[in-house]
Amino acid sequence: MPRREAARLLAKVLGQIEAHGLSHVAAAVAAALTTGTPILRALTPAASAAAGAAVDVPPGLQGITVGSGCAADYDGGLTEVRA
């Protein structure tokens, strides 16, 4: 593994330790090393778990639909900025 890639992996693992705690990350990394699962995949929560999470929305905001944006929506604002 190239040095730069190893440094990025270590930074992501350290970020997971900060967010979730050492015991959680150590268990996930140990399991990944045992099964051959890539470490970052083992530290990433399943998409289905994140999608199923309930969020309490205040009643005044429940009827508002927000469409998804795309990067092109912001191009006009970026081209208008002058240094």
Q: What is the mean pLDDT of residues 14-41?
A: 92
The residues, any chain, with a CB within 8 Å of residue 28's CB and separated by 6 or more, are 16, 42, 43
pLDDT tier at 2, thresholds 50, 70, 90: confident
Asked whether the predicted pLDDT for residue 18 surpasses 80, the reply is yes
Q: Would you say the pTM of this structure is higher than 0.75? A: no
| Average pLDDT score over the chain | 82
| Residue 23 token pair | 């015991």
> Could you give the C-alpha distances from 30 to 19, 37, 42, 48, in angstroms and in order?
18, 10, 10, 23
Identify the pLDDT of residue 49. Answer: 52
Distance from first CA to last CA of the chain, Å, rounded?
Answer: 41
pLDDT digits 0-9 by tens, 43-64: 887 644 555 567 788 888 888 8
| Residue 69 token pair | 């944006």
Place of tokens 């429940």: 62
